[in-house]
Amino acid sequence: MEASDEATQGTPPGGVAPRRLLALPALLLIGVAIWEIVATRCAASAVADDAAWTEAASVVRAGYRPGDLIVFAPDWIDPVGRLHLGDLIPLEVAARMDADRFGRIWELSIRDARAPETAGLSPVATAQRGGVTIRRFERTPVTVLADLRERLATARVESPGRRPTLELTEVGFAPRRCIQIVPVPGTPARITFPAVPLGSVLVGYVGIADVFTRRDNRAPARLEVQVGGATVAEATAGVDDGWVRFSAPTTPGSADVTIVAHATTPNRLVCFAAEARQ
Amino acid sequence: MPPGMRSSICGLVLALITVIVVVVNQRDVGVARDEVVYMQHGSRYADWWVGLVTLDHGPSKDSITRSFGGKGPTDGNREHPPLAKTLFGLSEKLFHDELGVASELTAYRLPSALLHGLCVWLVYTMALALWGFAEAVVAGLLLLFLPRALFHAGLACFDAAIMTMWFATVYAYWRCLDGRRWPWQAGVAFGLALATKHTAGLLPFAIALHYAIVGYRSGRWRGLVLHRWRLIVSFVVLSPLVLALVWPWLWFEPVAHVRDWITFHLRHVHYNFEYLGENWNAPPFPWHVALVTTLVTVPVVTLVAAALGTGAWIARRDEVTYPDRAPGLLLALSAAASIGPFFLGSTPIFGAEKHWMPALPSLCIAAAVGVVWAGRVAFGVLAAWRPLADRWRYPLIGALATIVVGAAAVETFTAQPYALSSYNALAGGAPGGADLGMNRQFWGVAARGVLPVLAREAPAAGAPPVSVYTHDAAPAWGVYHRLGLLPKTVRDAGWEQQGIDRSQLAIVIHEKHFNRHDYLIWRSYGSVQPVFVLRVAGVPLVSVYRRSARD
């Protein structure tokens, strides 16, 4: 049976205006279809190409100084950014603890995105190259007095499990250079860094490495920070928490810093990094 | 030519066009990780059947176990029923090995393409029976022009196949509600669906509820069972028989083997999957995954048309052919049974839209009803406004349908061959999908796009081979070699850190949980800089790294 004539399909008994409204569905479909064709083709060419990135990279290279941080936004464009400027990004910078120690930050962004490292900062220079926005930020960086990662070799370890190692690994889907320890469940692993020069604050981060162990083992990890035997900070990292920040005020001077890692399940890859800052 | 024959030919032409489009499109689509497994086991199954038919061996327990099973839960790929795999293997034997008319990969994939053509024909045929020729043509074309469905139809996997078998069951059941004496078609179709993919097990929820409603309307409580009781017999008797017939693994210890099959999927590991910026690999999952994913992967115009069509269908439900068989309700229940479990928050969400593809025929039929209804009503408005001869009715509907189908086609072809990374205009295309944090891809398919880059790194004659860390593309490497897409001197380096450490080149197929491969490579290569980044619409799909000469 064929569909019946349109005259029987909802033509209102009222006047001309209501009748004309019945053309709206067709107009809607035409409008959506035309918009979709245009939008689809535009989206396919909306992102900056290699020529634009090459020009943008040349802007950065002209003003780059060793020790500068280069970031890309949105995060999904990071591989393209590294393709063009990766030679200016050392491993330890790519896998940084955070951005606080960098006084100059270059941000290359597309689609009006901003990198979290530049949140709250105002650019001192801005340029546009074919859809790539280059912003340079300058600020007073923190002064790092001691980086616990650099002191692992002299640390005292009290743990029945594996000795901690310095790794470049995935934590929260980001690269992190961190000290990895695998505590025996129920037995805290203690790592003591002797005679650490302290400033006014100890800042650190903790997270659980490796997406697959996070999937298969959903228990959190806990970190305790002791200075001179007293607990000054604690942080708990769940499997979906990523890189969890902790900090504690410290008295300038030298003291032993002990990191105590707790896990309730086997093979919990606890990763941390910490700095004593002026 | 009688109108009926003309309509039939039109449906067949649509199906043929679909098969051609799928076959042509798949030539640029990389080899999916799981596809390699299905191809290998498909060939084993096909060998077994050929050996049985040619009396090389009998149906012994040993020979069946060697080809179809084993002690482990995935031995012989027995966690998946064999129908599609067997067809892949037979197709490769015939069209590649014997006739030489298709490449190995195309021959394996041909059954999926043929089944997709069959699905378009079934959709066309049901829409024709329910509403008319215009709706039928539009429904078939809208099904053809679905970016993700077209992509999946070009793989030697189960997703396009189960959509066809699912819808074939729905259609056969609906036809068999006419009270025929031998409604064998429904039972056979459902048996084939079960033999294609375990998700067919959801279909009885839709059919049972529909049967109950239609039966109750017809004969009250008595009708719940007796309305078309032969259909129940068909499902209960024929479906298991068909499943068992095509799956020799069930020829002995059938209860244990069926239990193993179902248990495997009830306890399936949750693969990593990115959704709205988060990586998900453990329940509870967001309830809206299926809704949002469908909204950003089906052409927008098809979604709008489906919304209009659903409204028009409800308003005109008594005008549809055979309203007593409640076809609209059946299509709605079919879609709901397919997509519904993904609202529970516990059903694995990896694979996303491919797991609820059986909902798409219902969506496309509704969309076609919406397009044609809008066209007819618009013609009525125009005719009332200015005198317009009736002969302009179908050209006007045709023009509206053309622009709607055209928009869907633009979405579909723009998405290829990286349709898993593609999102519709509502999302903003592939870049919009990336901004939203939607899944970039899976199965390592995009690695094919960097093969020319890797091939350029092939060593000179006589020089040692080059090793490439290939991670998710490793299973496909041998296929790429056999297809001639990559010199055999560019070989797979092996797994994880050991593979990376002995490699000269490395690729990272970008998915959120694969970031770890970048970092493993950085550590080994001492650099964060890739030498090439494959992109679709500017969105990174695969990075290629080259170890520095000084290393």
Q: Give the residue carrying structure tokens 């305790």.
A: A224
User: What pLDDT sits at residue B349?
Assistant: 87
User: What pLDDT sits at residue A17?
Assistant: 59
> A169 vs B516: CB contact, 8 Å cut-off?
yes
The residues with which A201 forms a beta bridge, in sequence order, are A249, A277
Q: Is A10 a residue whose pLDDT tops 50?
A: no
> A89 vs B528: CB contact, 8 Å cut-off?
yes
Quickly count: other Cβ atoms within 10 Å of residue A197's Cβ: 11
Of the candidates A180, A178, A151, A154, the residue with the CA atom closest to the CA atom of residue A273: A178
Do residues B524 and B497 lie in contact, with contact meaning Cβ atoms separated by under 8 Å? Answer: yes
> How far off is chain A from B98, nearest CA to CA, in Å?
42
Query: ipTM of the assembly?
Result: 0.95
Q: Give the residue carrying structure tokens 């001197």.
A: B489
The 8-class DSSP code of residue B280 comes to E
> How far off is chain B from A52, nearest CA to CA, in Å?
12
- CB crowding B377-409: b at 16 or more within 10 Å, else e: bbbbbbbbeeeeeeeebbebbeebbebbbbbbb
> B385 vs A29: CB contact, 8 Å cut-off?
no
User: What pLDDT sits at residue A21?
Assistant: 87
Find chain B residues with C-beta within 8 A of A33's C-beta.
Answer: 301, 403-404, 406-407
> B532 vs A83: CB contact, 8 Å cut-off?
yes
pTM metric for this prediction: 0.95
Residue A14 binned pLDDT confidence (cut-offs 50, 70, 90):
very low
> B538 vs A48: CB contact, 8 Å cut-off?
yes
User: pLDDT tens across B380-398, in order?
Assistant: 999 988 888 889 999 999 9
Residue A4 binned pLDDT confidence (cut-offs 50, 70, 90):
very low
**pLDDT over 90 for what percent of chain B?**
94
> A20 vs B381: CB contact, 8 Å cut-off?
yes
Phi then psi for residue A106, to 5 deg, are -100, 125
> How far off is chain B from A48, nearest CA to CA, in Å?
7
Cα–Cα distances (Å) from B59 to A45, B45, B62, B72, B261, in that order, read 57, 12, 8, 21, 21
**Which range has the worst mean pLDDT, A16-30, A186-200, B150-164?**
A16-30
Point out the residue among B321, B374, B540 whose CB comes nearest to the CB of A25. B374
User: pLDDT tens across A46-61, in order?
Assistant: 899 999 999 999 999 9
> How far off is chain B from A198, nearest CA to CA, in Å?
30
CA pair distance A26, B304, nearest whole angstrom? 11
Find chain B residues with C-beta within 8 A of A109's C-beta.
Answer: none
Point out the residue among A29, A39, A169 whose CB comes nearest to the CB of B425. A39
Give, in degrees to the nearest 5, the angle at Cα A17 between A13 and A23. 90
Q: Cβ of B282 under 8 Å from any chain A Cβ?
A: yes
**Which range has the worst mean pLDDT, A13-22, A165-174, B18-27, B196-205?**
A13-22
> B407 vs A79: CB contact, 8 Å cut-off?
no
Point out the residue among A2, A23, A173 whose CB comes nearest to the CB of B132. A2
Cα–Cα distances (Å) from A34 to A28, B303, B377, B403, B411, in that order, read 10, 15, 20, 8, 12
Find chain B residues with C-beta within 8 A of A4's C-beta.
Answer: 319
Of the candidates B402, B335, B395, the residue with the CA atom closest to the CA atom of residue B364: B335
Q: Cβ of B278 under 8 Å from any chain A Cβ?
A: yes
What tokens were used for A275?
A: 């700095």
Handedness of CA B365, B366, B369, B375 (dihedral sign): negative
CA pair distance B539, B297, nearest whole angstrom? 16
> How far off is chain A from B464, nearest CA to CA, in Å?
27
> How far off is chain A from B401, nearest CA to CA, in Å?
9
> A37 vs B407: CB contact, 8 Å cut-off?
yes
The residues with which A171 forms a beta bridge, in sequence order, are A174, A209
Point out the residue among A20, A74, A79 whose CB comes nearest to the CB of B530. A79
Q: What is the mean pLDDT of residues B248-267?
A: 96
Do residues B45 and B89 lie in contact, with contact meaning Cβ atoms separated by under 8 Å? Answer: yes
Q: What is the mean pLDDT of residues B428-453?
A: 97
User: What pLDDT sits at residue A3?
Assistant: 39
Find chain A residues with C-beta within 8 A of B523's C-beta.
Answer: 91, 168
The residues with which A204 forms a beta bridge, in sequence order, are A246, A274
Point out the residue among B300, B380, B432 whose CB comes nearest to the CB of A7. B380
User: Mutate which of B317, B377, B510 to test chain A, going by most A C-beta atoms within 10 A?
Assistant: B377
Residue of A nearest to B306 (CA): A29
**pLDDT over 70 for what percent of chain A?**
94
Question: What is the three-class DSSP state of B99?
Answer: coil
Contact residues for B478 (Cβ-Cβ < 8 A; gap 6+): B36
Q: Is B129 a residue whose pLDDT tops 90?
A: yes
User: What pLDDT sits at residue A8?
Assistant: 40
The 8-class DSSP code of residue B484 comes to T
CA pair distance A161, A191, nearest whole angstrom? 12
Burial class (CB in 10 A: 0-12, 13-18, 19+), A232: middle
User: What pLDDT sits at residue A18?
Assistant: 67
> A215 vs B270: CB contact, 8 Å cut-off?
yes
Q: What is the mean pLDDT of residues B241-250?
A: 98
Residue B319 binned pLDDT confidence (cut-offs 50, 70, 90):
confident
> How far off is chain B from A266, nearest CA to CA, in Å?
19
Q: How far is CA B467 from the centre of its chain?
A: 33
User: pLDDT tens across B526-547, in order?
Assistant: 999 999 999 999 999 999 999 9
Q: What is the mean pLDDT of residues A242-256?
A: 97
User: pLDDT tens across B488-536, in order?
Assistant: 999 999 999 999 999 999 999 999 999 999 999 999 999 999 999 999 9
The residues with which A70 forms a beta bridge, in sequence order, are A106
User: What pLDDT sits at residue B269?
Assistant: 87
User: pLDDT tens across A62-112, in order?
Assistant: 999 999 999 999 999 999 999 999 999 999 999 999 999 999 999 999 999
Of the candidates A220, A117, A95, A222, the residue with the CA atom closest to the CA atom of residue A170: A95
Check residues B39 and A45 and name the one with the higher pLDDT.
Answer: B39
Q: Which amino acid is at B93?
A: K
Q: What is the mean pLDDT of residues A112-129?
A: 97
Report all structural domains of chain A as residue ranges with CATH numbers, in order of start.
Answer: 50-138 (no CATH), 144-277 (2.60.120.200)
Phi then psi for residue B158, to 5 deg, are -100, -5
Q: Cβ of B399 under 8 Å from any chain A Cβ?
A: no
> How far off is chain B from A121, nearest CA to CA, in Å?
23
Of the candidates B448, B435, B357, the residue with the CA atom closest to the CA atom of residue B146: B357
Q: What is the mean pLDDT of residues B241-257?
A: 97
Q: What is the mean pLDDT of residues A166-187?
A: 97
Quickly count: other Cβ atoms within 10 Å of residue A36's Cβ: 25
Phi then psi for residue B389, to 5 deg, are -65, 150
Residue A12 binned pLDDT confidence (cut-offs 50, 70, 90):
very low
Residue B101 host element (H or E): none
Residue of B nearest to A3 (CA): B131
3-state SS of chain A is: CCCCCHHHCCCCCCCHHHHHHCCHHHHHHHHHHHHHHHHHHHHHCCCCCHHHHHHHHHHHHHHCCCCCEEEEECHHHHHHHHHHHHHHCCHHHHCCCCCCCCCEEEEEECCCCCCHHHCCCCCCEEEEECCEEEEEEECCCCCEEEEHHHHHHHCEEECCCCCCEEEEEEECCEEEEEEEECCECCECEEEEEEEEEECCEEEEEEEEECHHHHHHCCCCEEEEEEECCEEEEEEEECCCCCCEEEEEECCCEEEEEEEEEEECCCCCCEEEEEEEEC
> A82 vs B132: CB contact, 8 Å cut-off?
no
Cα–Cα distances (Å) from B413 to A136, B149, B151, in that order, read 40, 12, 10
> A82 vs B523: CB contact, 8 Å cut-off?
no
Q: What is the mean pLDDT of residues A24-34?
A: 98
User: What pLDDT sits at residue A6?
Assistant: 42
Point out the residue among A33, A86, A239 whose CB comes nearest to the CB of B527. A86
Q: Cβ of B537 under 8 Å from any chain A Cβ?
A: yes
User: What pLDDT sits at residue A20?
Assistant: 80
Question: What is the three-class DSSP state of B126?
Answer: helix
The beta strands (E) that lie in B421-496 are given as 466-469, 490-492
